[in-house]
Each structure stands twice: as C-alpha cells, then as structure tokens.
Amino acid sequence: MVFLLAFQLNAQESEMKKEETPKKFQFSGSVDAYFRQNISGPNGADAISPNTSFANLNGFALGMVNVIASYEGEKVGFVGDLVFGPRGEDATFLSEILRPDGNSSIVNQLFVYWNVSEAITLTFGNFNTFLGYEVISPTANFNYSTSYMFSYGPFSHTGLKADIVITDDWSAMVGVFNNTDSTEFNLNNNYTVGAQVGFKDTFLNFLYGRQGNGSLEPTFQVDLTTGHDITDTFFLGLNATYNDTDGSAFYGVALYPQFQVSDAFSIGARGEYFAETEGGAGAIGVYDEEGDASVIDLTLTGSYSVGNLIIKPELRLDSTSEESFLDTDLAPSKSLSSFVLAAIYNFN
C-alpha cells in the first residue's frame, strides 16, 4: 500500500510538472463568418456600408480563416500568422498590389525574435501595428465591425523593432520599418520610424515617415490607447489618434465601455468621433468646400460564448456631417443604421 501510494503521488507530481511546463510549439487561430443588413439604407445590388474595414459585405458573408504557428524558446522564437478569406485579403491589401502574381496576401505576420536580455527583445520581420485599440483578428476585438481610426491607421509593419522593459510599470519600443503596410519589400526606399512609451496599461505611440514616393511629405501620427477595469464587471477602454500629411489630416477619439453580465454573456459599445481636414484619408467620402467632414459611429455589441464559439449580434449607427450615405429610396443621407450577426470560433 505504501509503495502504491508513493507511486501514485510521484505520478501526480510528474503530471503537474508537465502541465506547468509551457508549450514551446503552439498552433492556434480562428474562423469567422457573419450576416450584415442595412436598416436605413439599401441592400442587395445597391447595398452600401460604412467606409470601414472588414464587416462591410451584404447578406451572409465570410470573414477569414486565421492559422498561427509559433515557437517560444528561452532566447529565440518565431511567429507565422496566415490568413485566408476576405477579411485576411483586406488586411494585407498591399501585398497583391506589389506582387499580383505572388501569394503573400495570406501572410498576416511573419517574424522572428531574440530575447537579448530580460529587458530587451528584438523583433525582425512583419508584425501587426502597435498603434490603435483594435486589431485585425476578430477574437481580440469586442466589437465585430471596426472603427474609422483603426481602418485608416496602419495594419502592419515590416522592419526591426526593440521592445524595452524599463521597470515593472514602464516600457518602451523603438523601430524602423518599410512604408506602412508594405509587407513584402520596400517599394520606394522610404523608411518609417516608430516609437512607444508605456505605463502599465496606457501606451503613447508615434509614427513618422514618407508613406509613398519621394515627392510626398512625411506622415506624422500620434496615438494613445488605454483600458482599465473600473470594477470586477465593468471595463472602459479609450483610443485617440491624430494623423497628418502636409495639412491633410484625420483625427478621432473613441470610448469602449464593456459590461460582463454573466460568465457567458457581455455587452459593450463603441462611441467614436472621427474627423478629416483637407480630404484626410478619404474615409468619409463627401466633404465641404474646405475638404472637411466628420462622422460619429455608435456601435452596440453583445457577446455570447458557447465553449470556443462566440456569437456577436451588433447594431451600428453612422452619422456624418455631409450626405455620405443613401437611404432606402437611394436618396443622399447623413446617416446609416445597420445590423450584424457574427460567429467566431477560436482554437489553440
């Protein structure tokens, strides 16, 4: 009996050690699809949508398959992040322009890293942007549709960056990259520099460099992201950004309140104000005589989890300063209301 008891305890201890040992190779990802319908605007052949990324197709539509393979060693590692489907193609839109006969449009991220010390990590390759509150993967966003600030900010960078841990609370990042979203190679031999200063869960981000050919003026962007648990069940996030290229600018601010109703169900909102001057990024599409326009995006999203499956019903209202939309009679309108129902499955 003593022998059997000792054998059982030893087996349990060995099993616990196995569970405590982190996986070095990991395989994870997600699959998503959705249904979208306008409430105050046309559908079908005349369907319109807010001029933001991803969740903008009419009727039943596909998101993407996201497959991520990674290796985490003591000092070095890599991430290979592949995307297939409309959402993935939209996220890697410059790859097909630069090499229309290639297949790099499936590469969302592809980088290696080296933990030089406990305080410094070097990352080399293509990685998603450090700016903004929202991200490409639908599993990491509470709202399924995306904001104007996210849609017209950077998606990805290709280059070299150094992440620095200063103290338990303070961090920093510096890097040099190709043109924003030029993932495969540097088309114009222009480079962009980026930097980040972080304090706990608050990050101030900077980006500066020419984004097109040599005749263009440099683009400067400053971006602030933060998020805090106000209570055990209430979270509040914030994103603010300003982007300028020789006076043609856009700027905005968004709040992200989220309330956990139960273990399975949460409800959250996005309240965003976004404005452009001298045409900005062309997001709103219709401008006054000075090339200025603004939009308010109000989005209410529910999130219900069943195992690894997340169901997200969403109501969205976009209201612009100019007549940027169409109503159900195809007449110009300053507002558009819409409904989205998304299904997201994540695996690891």
pLDDT tens-digit map of 45-91? 899 999 999 999 999 999 999 999 999 998 999 999 999 999 998 99
pLDDT > 80? residue 200? yes
Query: Which of 42-51, 99-108, 227-236, 308-317 is least confident?
Result: 99-108
Selection from 13, 17, 19, 59 nearest residue 35 by Cα: 59
Long-range contacts of 19-28 (CB under 8 A, 24+ apart): 22/72, 23/72, 24/71, 24/72, 24/73, 25/69, 25/70, 25/71, 26/68, 26/69, 26/70, 26/71, 26/72, 26/348, 27/67, 27/68, 27/69, 27/348, 28/68, 28/70, 28/346, 28/347, 28/348
- Which segment of 58-67, 93-102, 292-301 scores lowest on mean pLDDT? 93-102
Q: What topology does CATH give the domain 24-347?
A: Porin (2.40.160)
Check: CB of residue 301 under 8 Å from CB of residue 333.
no
Radius of gyration of the chain (CA): 22
Whose tokens are 């114009």? That residue is: 188
Domain boundaries, the chain: 24-347
Instruction: Give the model's pLDDT for residue 46.
Output: 92
Is the pLDDT at 42 greater than 90, yes or no?
Answer: yes
Q: Are strands 293-306 and 156-165 parallel, antiparallel or unpaired?
A: unpaired
User: Which two structure tokens, joined as six digits, stand for 135?
Assistant: 């991200």
**What DSSP assignment string belongs to 172-206?**
EEEEEESSTT--SS-SSS--EEEEEEEETTEEEEE
Please write the tens of the pLDDT for every residue from 114-161.
Answer: 999 999 999 999 999 999 999 999 999 999 999 999 999 899 999 999
3-class secondary structure, 207: strand
Which has more confidence, 202 or 104?
202
β-sheet bridge partners, residue 156: 128
Give the pLDDT score at 59.
96
pLDDT at 298 over 80: yes
Question: DSSP per residue over 329-345, as a string?
Answer: TS-EESEEEEEEEEEEE
In this predicted structure, the answer to whether residue 189 has a pLDDT above a threshold of 50 is: yes
Q: What is the length of the chain?
A: 348
Global model pTM greater than 0.75: yes
